[in-house]
Amino acid sequence: MPKSSIIDGLGLLAISTRLQRLSEQLRKDGQQIYRSYGIDFEPKWFPVVYSLHVKKTLSVVEIAAEIGYTHPSTISLLKELEREKIISSRKDSSDERKRLIQLTEKGNSLVLEMQPVWDTMTRAIAALTSTPNNLLSAITEVESKLGEKSFLQRAEEIKSGLSPFTGQ
């Protein structure tokens, strides 16, 4: 991944670019780690599969909410997973609009098979992020601040002379 001088120095304004680059880097390596364990699995499938592993049966919109994606994005993930026979779906008999999704037998055994991979990844990421400022905590903290007040709202307040910290 190419390193850049100016942008690194400019920190705050290029933070979105840096977040994206870091995300992409981790996703790509994740892909290769699954491969190195001989497992045919994409990192982007993880949130769906994990949700179904825990909750057993969910509708499309419920999965979208669980994983924090829009439902069209979720639908395309589900299509891939159905093609891979990792999940299966059927209509909800009490509400015909709903499609109920579950892990297949293959999906369930895949989850078991992936335990050591997930363990390895978790350790590697833990090592990577065990720095003075913990990345995962930092993300959680910023997400929580954004939940209170968006970047846009904060900018509007600063523009109109309010403190970005207190909003007064």
Partner DNA sequence: TGAATATATGTAGTCAACTACGTAATTTTA
Partner DNA sequence: TAAAATTACGTAGTTGACTACATATATTCA
In contact, 45 and 53? CB cutoff 8 Å: no
Applying CB under 7 A, does 33 fall inside the site for DNA? no
Q: Tell me which of DNA, a second copy, none is bound by residue 98, counting a contact when its beta carbon lies within the kind-specific cut-off of 5 to 8 angstroms.
A: DNA
Q: Which of residues 47-66 bind a second copy (CB under 8 A)?
A: 47, 50-51, 53-55, 64-66
Q: Tell me which of a second copy, DNA, none is bound by residue 7, counting a contact when its beta carbon lies within the kind-specific cut-off of 5 to 8 angstroms.
A: a second copy
| From 42, 44, 82, 100, residue interacting with a second copy (rule: CB under 8 A) | 44
Residue 139: which residues within 8 A CB-CB, separation 6 or more?
Answer: none
Q: What are phi and psi of 42, to 5 degrees?
A: -100, 135
Compose the 84-103 pattern: x for residues touching a second copy by CB under 8 A, - for all others: --------------------
Bridge-partner residues for 90, per DSSP? 100
Find tokens 């057993």 and name the residue. Answer: 56
